[in-house]
Structure 1
Amino acid sequence: MKRYNKLGLTLVETLFALAIFAFLSVGFMTTLVASMRTTGRAVLEIAADNFATKIIEEMQIRNKMSIEEYDKLGDPSAPENDSFLKVFVSPSDPQNLSRSVEFRAQVQFKGFGKVESAAQNSLTAVIPNGFPSWDVNEWKDCPVMIKKGKGSGQIAYILSNSSNSLSITRNLDGSAGTPWLTNPDSSSYFEINGGKTAEVTVRWVYRGQPFTRVYRTLVYHP
């Protein structure tokens, strides 16, 4: 006669059931851990968004620099310098230490400044030391305005760009062919999209893996 335990299961059946339970538990725990890590990453991405937003809002509130003073960013001897200029300039590295994960932000400015030279359908910009050069065609289809100096008030449309020069037209439909009415020169200052473009890069490390998010925003002149 077979002997059964009190639950009506043989030893073999009990061991088999335990094996199935263990197998299912491993799968469940693996899914749970993966879900927790995904949730952790999502929470940190939201924190990075908030950190970048705080920096962007601070820049917009404290932006006191006129267009011809852009090359004085980070120069402590410049009388126009204030805490905004000292903090928010590459390679400044502000940090958010309020969390166990450390966020670092780098801010770089693009898309405005002084003209080096210009021809009928082009403009070459001065890129000061410490400022990033442009990505190829990042300004394509954007408007550029001469804000000050020779040719002031003209608006053109960007057909293409290299690391420091623009190919432009004044045709409203963006078609090539219409040159500057008055060629800008080294006395001129320009703005793309009507302001300074700030590029905020936030970096952090989570579980040994580095993460990066980049935010772009216009910072307008008062």
Structure 2
Amino acid sequence: MNITIKGKVPPKAIIGVVILVIALALFLLKEPEKDDLIEISESDSIIDEKLEEGDLETTPVIQETIVVELAGEVNNPSVYILTKGSRVYEAIELAGGLTEEADTRNTNLAAILQDEMKIYIPSKEEVKAMEEQSGTKAGSDYIGGNTTANSSNQNKNSKVNLNTANSIQLQQLRGVGPSTAEKIIEYRNKHGRFNKIEDIMNVSGIGEKTFENLKNFITVE
């Protein structure tokens, strides 16, 4: 059965059909396929998993080291490498600890170590001998510098080395008591060697007047 439509189609109807076809085509072109959506979703999941697993590269931290020497009453006297900022007690532990004859009463175990420092732990007999020798510079250097035991007939007028003297030796100086001696040692451990005798005035409690009384009896050589 044939249906015949008589008459012309209005132009407006033709334009309307064309617009409808174009709109439908644009809609179909813009709509993403389901497979593409699934692929993108899976890629995001893989990236998230890698971040959670910590696959990102990290920069290694390089720690600075120092070299110190342990001598005296420690079980394994030797040269040791420690991390910068380590303290005296840590170096002693690395050297196998103290011997039964060690005397650390005048050793600051909490002092921060400096590179090239020498730590000498005296024996009980050494400390006793130093305490009995009034007016002499007998003794040994507990922290830093070259360590030597001085003879009892050493010149009483010899100068005290600010860079090597221990607490007992420093107290032989006029006006220097246990508290001031400890401050001198703490300053030396924190700031390093005294470069000139005038540097002692940087120590808390020591001014120009005290320095005038000490300058002829101290040295940094």
More strand by share: 1
Q: Given the two structures, how large is their TM-score scaled by the length of structure 2?
A: 0.29
Using CA pairs below 8 Å that are at least 6 residues apart, which structure has the higher relative contact order?
1
Higher helix share: 2
TM-score of the aligned structures, taking structure 1 as reference length: 0.29
